[in-house]
Structure 1
Amino acid sequence: MIDSITLKNFKCFEDDSIKLSKLNLLCGGNSVGKSSIIQSILLLKQNEDNILRSILLSELNKGMTYMSLNGPYIKLGSIKELLYTEAKDDIISISLKFKDHDISISNINNSKEWSVSSNIPNGSIKLFQFKNPLKYISSNRITPENAYNLSEEDINKNNIGINGEFTAHLLAEKKHSEIPNISLKHPKSITNLLLENVSNWLSEISENIEINSRILPDVNQAILRFKYSYSQTQSNELTPQNVGFGLTHVLPIITSILTAKRNDVIIIENPEAQLHPKAQAKLAKLFCLAANQGTQLIIETHSDHILNSIRAETKDSTISNEKSKIYFFQKDLEKFKAKKTEIKINKDGSVDQWPSGFFDEWDNQLDRLLW
């Protein structure tokens, strides 16, 4: 679990820290810093091997290492593009604090090398938290297709790809595996098996749906197929193109959560995309259940339905209010930097403040209609 993030001169952040809990919502308008928080984590994840090597060989390399800015997780361009516009110096730094240690990287004067510092004892590789699973589900998720690619390397790590592109493969290979966190078993599920529980949670999005996945070895691909139950029978098998687009879009999110273990970290961008408001609320309940049982979720969202569902689930004690944090980001136009407001959910589901611009557009438009 990541306890906190500190950013200095990184993109729109001059010098700021945020503390994280189990369930974390990053909210606010477009281009106000939400994605920069996520990118700072992914930059370290993308370079975890280089960082670890630098820590273990610090006496030889003086804690310096090359950092890939453009890789499988993120593409950030050049060092110059990362430097805060009004920076007083040319030092960019990102620091992550974990339970047992800290890791910091910094770049000076647009150097090709970054300095790495940490209080991980030499040789204590097991303490390096990013060697524990961190899953990232981007907003650019898979679209409905007849078939999807395979990746044994990824699914052996319970990794479905940053766009969910290996979801079909994982479900085909591990459909009869038990979900790691039994507390996430759906109330309608008879077993703890992955595919049954994915189907039942997906039924919260589209009622009475059943999903199956299988591998086509001749073409080295995996397929997803859906059925609907009605009356005493079932529909024919349906391809992803012939069910709602939102089902394909949300499937990687549900699968990632149900395959996660306690203390895993899952970063999700725009989980609400393509989903009906009721479906968004149901998905938020799954977020609450997972976070309350120990999975850390960092969610970038524009959805008031997700926010309000989390508030309601807090009131119903699905999740403790001590296990969630909401950050509302705005842009300080005078300094062209991000500024944050932490909003606390109380035990009764109320919030301790409601700043201007924080999910208030419904009220703004209603006022126009009424007055």
Structure 2
Amino acid sequence: MSEQPLQTLESIVLHNFKCFGHQKINLGKLTLLSGLNGMGKSSVIQSLLLLRQSFQQGLITQGLAVNGDLVRLGTAQDVFFESAEDDTISIGLKLHSKNSVDEWSYQYNSSTDVLDIEAAPDGLNSILVGASDTYFNNDIIFSNLFTDEFQYLQAERIGPRTSFGTSDYLVRQHRQLGPSGEYAIHYLSLFGNELIPNEKLHHEQSSTLTLRNEVEAWLSEISPGTRINISGNPDIDLVSLRFSFVNDGVVGNAFRATNVGFGLTYTLPILVAVLSAKPNSLLLIENPEAHLHPRGQALMGQFLAYAAAAGVQIVVESHSDHVLNGIRLAVHDGKIDPADVQLNYFERRMIEGQTRHTISTPTIDQDGLIDQWPDGFFDEFDKSLERLMTPRS
């Protein structure tokens, strides 16, 4: 399986899924999901997690596993679109290598509150996955969504701790960091001396291409001179993390992560995920700006753009105009082609007397300028400034 080239996603098609009656969501090398709270951004990410989770549990040809390690959505009723005109829920994926959409359809049974398989995607063959027969064609089975070349980091990542857990199964065998980034420190302890797979992400201040040195170099963009100190206690399956800082060429004392603040610990899993990702891998990242100052948020936007330009497919959900501006700066500086950036702005509108969730797609030009600014699209600074400049009555 590992010898096959990874396939990347071009779009998602949702039918009767959560807040969407029917919606197509285009994806790029770097996709930014934005919008007010409750507009459907997380639902898009959850649709991908739901497919992966159902696949991993061997249930995808029987029904959808709405609760699991990646996502917990409650009941089938919680997932089914409340204004649905039929009883079918489906999630479709289109790969860049194909002209058609592979769609999984399930029937919602309100009396039993389950989602049962209605039809496997057309033309798919049954292959053995784990202990069950699962329908996948050769393209889909090697899409980045269903392989180990995948990471999901949720908004609520693990904060500073005196120690962090380990997982031989997830980290050693599947190289996963965990949805909360809870195994990022264990990952670094095991693979920190390996070379990063993508030399295009080499930081000029890193002395080598090892993952640990590259993480430290990029982390120093946020907090200058940062050094990472990891020690393990295999007897109790824990690893500890400390940070030290270089001042005038001298490395200071190592401080517990709990004494340094949230920003570094919260950012660390993102850096590890990106720098360890192979080209065509898929990363789903929620709120990368969390606990970062504005400069750090802008740098994060640039960093994600650099990674996407180097071939890593990234879907990021963010409320930060600084992250957006970091992406725009990367485009302006020629670090990423504007055609590789997909902006999706989620809104809720009244259409023909009904509330509909819709998506606007502003585009960025070569200069980093955006062609349209829908109301609410990262415009709060301008709105606040306009009010401040208006004389009081």
TM beyond 0.5: yes
Correspondence for 1:339 among 358, 362, 367: 358
Tell me, in whole angstroms, the C-alpha distance in 2 between the residues paired with 1:195 and 1:344. 35
Give the TM-score of the pair, scaled to structure 2. Answer: 0.88
Preserved CA contact (<8 Å) 1:103 1:119 = no
**Shift in Å at residue 46 of structure 1?**
0.3
Aligned to 1:18: 25
Structure 2 gap segments, 5+ residues each: 1-7, 128-135
Deviations 1:187-226 (A, max 9, x none): 1012100100100111011111111222112322111111
Tell me, in whole angstroms, the C-alpha distance in 1 between the residues paired with 2:270 and 2:323. 14
Tell me, in whole angstroms, the C-alpha distance in 2 between the residues paired with 1:89 and 1:259. 43
Preserved CA contact (<8 Å) 2:89 2:107 = yes
Give the TM-score of the pair, scaled to structure 1. Answer: 0.93
Tell me, in whole angstroms, the C-alpha distance in 2 between the residues paired with 1:283 and 1:118. 40
**Shift in Å at residue 50 of structure 1?**
5.5
Is 1:149 equivalent to 2:165 in the alignment? Answer: yes
SS where residue 336 of structure 1 aligns?
A: strand
Residue identity opposite 2:116 in structure 1:
E
SS where residue 354 of structure 2 aligns?
A: coil
Aligned to 2:301: 284
CA RMSD of aligned residues (A): 1.7
Residue identity opposite 1:239 in structure 2:
R
Q: How many residues align?
A: 361
Aligned to 2:327: 310
**Shift in Å at residue 90 of structure 1?**
1.6
Aligned to 2:103: 104
Map 1:1-371 onto structure 2 (within 5 A): 1-49=8-56, 64-100=61-97, 102-110=101-109, 111-115=114-118, 116-123=120-127, 127=139, 128=141, 129=143, 130-156=146-172, 157-333=174-350, 334-371=353-390
SS where residue 47 of structure 2 aligns?
A: helix
Tell me, in whole angstroms, the C-alpha distance in 2 between the residues paired with 1:87 and 1:232. 63
Tell me, in whole angstroms, the C-alpha distance in 2 between the residues paired with 1:113 and 1:15. 19
Tell me, in whole angstroms, the C-alpha distance in 2 between the residues paired with 1:145 and 1:177. 25
Deviations 1:105-143 (A, max 9, x none): 222232442232254455577530212522100011011
**Shift in Å at residue 268 of structure 1?**
0.4
Check 1:368–1:177 CA distance in 2 against 1; reply closer, same or farther (3 A cut): same
Residue identity opposite 1:78 in structure 2:
T
Aligned to 1:58: none
Preserved CA contact (<8 Å) 1:96 1:104 = yes
Q: Tell which deviates more after alignment, 92-101 or 358-367.
A: 92-101
Check 1:125–1:94 CA distance in 2 against 1; reply closer, same or farther (3 A cut): closer
Deviations 1:12-65 (A, max 9, x none): 1111102211000000000001001001110001011456x86xxxxxxxxx41
Tell me, in whole angstroms, the C-alpha distance in 2 between the residues paired with 1:309 and 1:131. 29
Preserved CA contact (<8 Å) 1:26 1:299 = yes
**Shift in Å at residue 357 of structure 1?**
1.1
Check 1:13–1:112 CA distance in 2 against 1; reply closer, same or farther (3 A cut): closer
Q: Tell which deviates more after alignment, 332-341 or 154-163.
A: 332-341
Preserved CA contact (<8 Å) 1:312 1:349 = yes
Q: Tell which deviates more after alignment, 154-163 or 329-338.
A: 329-338
Deviations 1:128-167 (A, max 9, x none): 0212522100011011111111111111222110000001
Structure 1 gap segments, 5+ residues each: 55-63
SS where residue 66 of structure 1 aligns?
A: coil
